[in-house]
Amino acid sequence: ASLLVALLVLTSCSGRTERDGVERNALTSVTCDALMSSSKRRRAILTSNGLSNEGIRQEFVRLVKLRTDPGKARVVYVPDALVADGYTFSKALVDEFRRSLRGTGVVASNVASVELASSTKEEVQVALEGADVVYVECGNTFFLHYHMVQKDFKALLDPLLDQGVVYVGSSAGSIAAGKTASIATWKGWDDPTVVPKIPYEGLAVLGDKSFFPHYNPQWKSLVESKRPTLDHEVITLTDNQCYSSDESGERLRG
């Protein structure tokens, strides 16, 4: 009988987004919320190059729709890694990101941004309030990770992810999302001297997994030699792939 009740409640929960405004009776609401919160699988898309192809864009839209109507989705853009690579944090930079979302249904005016390096923890917290998507840009992983730690970004982000907010990582944003950001040391592409050295503990967005973006056969022997030095799984991502996660499971696409 209890199994039947659970199945009926899950059916009543399905087909609705968290923010669609549909009223549920008190019992169903509480039960749905309890069942949803009991799942520890989060919504995320980890990539090498952001929303760079149609398959990844479709996956992005699919995950956003689990949260809300894309036209209502509030996206918070974190550009720090790109700024460390010489770009200026400006309206022009954010507008360029807004243009990259064309065709997804996301409205440009619903895209906000926060630069961790120049913000206080309180300002970052305010910026994240009401977010449906947190998009963390590519660039220098060490700079990004350092300022995430300085602003206690993980503590601010975790409750949002547990409530169904979608995390999107592009390159550095994907490395920082892993259990360890030390993956950034493997290829040697990023300059670690731009910030003081600190432990490489990552956001662990998907638990005991780390991510190696821009993978191709050139890096096969490197990855195989480095993997045993870690106590958890390392997922490689080519420039055309994404690793996505939601309540239904985790998958490598592309």
pLDDT tens-digit profile of 20-34?
443 333 333 333 443
Q: Are the C-beta atoms of 127 and 120 separated by less than 8 Å?
A: no
pLDDT band at 18 (very low <50, low <70, confident <90, very high): low
End-to-end C-alpha distance for the chain, whole angstroms: 42
Of the given ranges (26-30, 44-48, 105-109), which has the lowest mean pLDDT?
26-30
Q: How does pLDDT run across 54-94, given as a tens digit for each residue? A: 999 999 999 999 999 999 999 999 999 999 988 899 999 99
Residue 15: pLDDT band (50, 70, 90) is very low
Q: What is the pLDDT of residue 231?
A: 96
Mean pLDDT on 114-131: 98
pLDDT at 12: 41
Residue 86 has what pLDDT? 87
Output the pTM of the full model. 0.85
Cα–Cα distance measured from residue 125 to residue 90, given in angstroms and rounded to the nearest whole number: 20
| In the predicted structure, residue 152 carries a pLDDT above the cut 80 | yes
For the cut 70, the answer to whether the pLDDT of residue 8 exceeds it is no
Interacting residues of 88 by C-beta distance below 8 A, sequence separation 6+: none
Residue 19 is predicted with a pLDDT of 52
**pLDDT over 70 percentage in the chain:** 85
The pLDDT assigned to 180 comes to 98
Q: Give the confidence band of 191 by pLDDT, cuts at 50, 70, 90.
A: very high
* pLDDT for the residue numbered 28: 35
User: Is the distance from CB of 45 to CB of 244 less than 8 angstroms?
Assistant: yes
SS3 call for 181: helix
* Residues 10, 15, 18, 21, CA torsion sign: negative
**Mean of all residue pLDDT scores within the chain:** 88
Percent of the chain residues past pLDDT 90, beyond the cut: 82
Judged by average pLDDT, the poorest of 78-92, 108-122, 179-193 is 78-92
pLDDT of 235 higher than 60 = yes
Q: What is the pLDDT of residue 31?
A: 37
| Higher-pLDDT residue of 2, 144 | 144
Angstrom distances, CA of residue 38 to CA of 31, 33, 34, 191 = 11, 8, 6, 40
